[in-house]
Amino acid sequence: MLNLIKSVKDVSLQSIKASNNIAYLNSTVTDPSCQRIAQRMSEMTPEMLGVTGPDDPYHFQGPLNRVTITGENSEDYRLVLFFIKKGTRMPLHDHPNMSVFFRVLFGELKYTGYDKLDDKFKFNSFSSDEYCELLETKTSIKAKKTREMSLKKDSLLYVRPSANNMH
């Protein structure tokens, strides 16, 4: 687990050094540091994380439970475990200008990814005031379905800032 935390922090530092620009974030899938994160995530087992399985009463108390491993107070990175009860549907959301790694430890996750069509929304190029107005007016953002898949045990998925980020 410590190696995974170190790898996540390393990628965060590289991103900061690159000024968190979109070109860097979109290319990280081939970056050796990101490859190390994927490798270390693949090596994790539920037992290593203290999880007994899909019926674990502690981790599956509600439909969606979250445990933050590191980065709770950081805007630059976060390593989080999500425990989603069977049958739970997450609302459509995105991770603005973030790269996200997913790994399914057990069960199955149906995933539908969308790409925002307008560059202003794809790269979240708007002010805080504009963002508040978008929320207040419930503005629809045009997007195209780009990926539909079923992730099974040990599946890894990497989501980039401008590709499949809305899901």
**How confident is the model over 116-135, as pLDDT tens digits?**
888 888 777 777 788 888 88
Within-domain flag for 166: no
pLDDT at 100: 82
User: Using CA atoms, how far apart are residues 153 and 167, in angstroms rounded to an integer?
Assistant: 19
Provide the residue range defining the domain that includes 52: 2-159
Within-domain flag for 92: yes
pLDDT at 2: 65
Helix, coil or strand: residue 158: strand
**Which H/E stretch holds residue 121?**
helix 119-122
pLDDT at 111: 92
Q: How many domains does the chain have?
A: 1
User: Using CA atoms, how far apart are residues 98 and 26, in angstroms rounded to an integer?
Assistant: 9
pLDDT at 27: 67
Confidence check: pLDDT of 115 > 80: yes
Within-domain flag for 98: yes
Within-domain flag for 165: no
Helices 32-43 and 2-17: crossing angle in degrees, nearest 10, is 160
Within-domain flag for 73: yes
Helix, coil or strand: residue 155: coil
| pTM attached to this predicted model | 0.74
Q: Is there a contact between 101 and 160 (Cβ–Cβ < 8 Å)? A: no
Query: How do residues 38-97 score in pLDDT, each as one tens digit?
Result: 888 888 888 888 888 888 888 888 898 888 887 777 766 777 888 888 889 988 888 877
User: Using CA atoms, how far apart are residues 32 and 29, in angstroms rounded to an integer?
Assistant: 8
Burial 80-118 (b: 16+ CB within 10 A, else e): ebebbeeeeeeeeebeebbbbbebbbeeebebebbbbee
pLDDT at 61: 86
User: Using CA atoms, how far apart are residues 47 and 79, in angstroms rounded to an integer?
Assistant: 18
pLDDT tier for residue 152 given thresholds of 50, 70 and 90: very high
Within-domain flag for 75: yes
